[in-house]
Amino acid sequence: MREPLLRAVPTPLVSRGFTLVELLVVIAIIGVLVSLLLPAVQAVREAARRTQCSNNLKQLGLALHSFEGSHEHFPPGATAVVNNTTNLPDFISGGFGLLLPYLEQDLGPLYDPSQQWILQRPEAASTVIPVFLCPSSAGESRIIQPLLGAGGFNLPVGDTFAVTQYVFSKGATDAWCLPSDTPRSLRGVFDVNRETKFIDIQDGTSNTIAIGEGDTAPELCQGAGCANETQQFARQTWLIPEPGNEEVLASGFLSASPFACTVDRLNKTPVTNSLFDRTSLTDCRASFDGGPHSTSNFRSAHRGIGLFLYCDGSVRVTSDTVDANVYQALSTISGGEVAN
């Protein structure tokens, strides 16, 4: 059988790419989709971080209640004794150090809460405790204070300290004094040498703040009080229980403390410095009454709000536009106010 003379010749496939216009359109569509999705992704991530921050505060609440169950009072925010030689206070341990065993973070022989903090071991001072850190904060987990190290006072504790981004409520007063004798209507749950019991919280545990946020991220200092736009820090460590003093201020180190108060508004910036006037050891007046001391404000890494642990163990969100009177009432233990 003869082969056909004519055979079908297959048509060659011609590959056709995108034109420049089509490519630009595709890129533009992708850009729009990314711009729409990115804020949603960021919001989801921040919601997750805020949940973790809330969980950290709840863990601190459980530790506080466990401590109270063992000792029949909350831990003092700081302990101090007056040195008979210098007539100045020697600060011993802080409340966060006392909570470590109740957070399953016992440092064993590295940390002795009965010893003055300047005599603690550097290994303890620099130990980062994860539950003390807010995942939304841009602050470092450790800070260096050169004034305390080999180039300064050369203290045994060294110059490297792990931070805490949660702070005890001092109430509606920024005063530091020994003995602590602030007016009852201004007192918070925590202060130097104060061992608050549940019975002392007359405003009710569900109406009284125990711990709040104390973000340690750098902030931009602008306007009055700032020669130029500069970054400054308000940072506190879990080990050091005392605020700054005139020597710390002279070193240029903006210091906070393991306490905050509601004298200034939530998320105020620049953050108020924490300073203890050691020459006015018995002056318990708040700054608005002419007192010489100051205590930092609560500040949060979550925009426009702050997370607070209440004495009943609950964690609640507070807007930084909250009425000042309500805010201060929530921070005191026996002002007679009840707020929703």
Of 38-52, 123-137, 206-220, least confident by mean pLDDT is: 38-52
| Domain boundaries of the chain, sorted by first residue | 45-330
| Tokens (6 digits) for 81 | 């004794």
Distances, alpha carbon 213 to alpha carbons 161, 177, 200, 262, in Å: 18, 23, 23, 12
- 279-321, pLDDT tens digit by residue? 898 999 999 999 999 999 999 999 999 999 999 999 999 999 9
CA-wise closest residue to 133 among 233, 53, 240? 53
Query: 7-22 pLDDT, tens per residue?
Result: 555 666 555 666 777 7
Identify the band that residue 5 occupies on the pLDDT scale cut at 50, 70 and 90. Answer: low
Q: Which pLDDT does position 224 carry in this prediction? A: 57
**Six-digit token string for 298:** 């609560």
List all residues 6 or more positions away from 171 whose beta carbon is below 8 Å from its beta carbon. 182, 186, 187, 188, 189, 191, 261, 262, 331, 332, 333
Q: What is the pLDDT of residues 108-160, one digit of tens each?
A: 999 999 999 999 999 999 999 999 999 999 999 999 988 888 888 899 999 99
Mean pLDDT over 31-38 rounds to: 74
φ, ψ for residue 87, nearest 5 deg = 60, 25
pLDDT of amino acid 38: 65
Residue 228 has pLDDT above 60, yes or no: no
**What is the mean pLDDT of the segment spanning 66-81?**
96
Residue 247's pLDDT band, with cuts at 50, 70 and 90, is: confident
Catalogue the E-assigned strands of the chain.
78-82, 89-94, 142-144, 160-162, 166-169, 209-213, 219-221, 230-232, 259-260, 305-310, 315-319
- Listed range (129-133, 161-165, 170-174, 280-284) with the worst mean pLDDT: 280-284
Q: Which amino acid is at 309?
A: L
pTM across the whole model: 0.85
Give the SS3 label for residue 300: coil
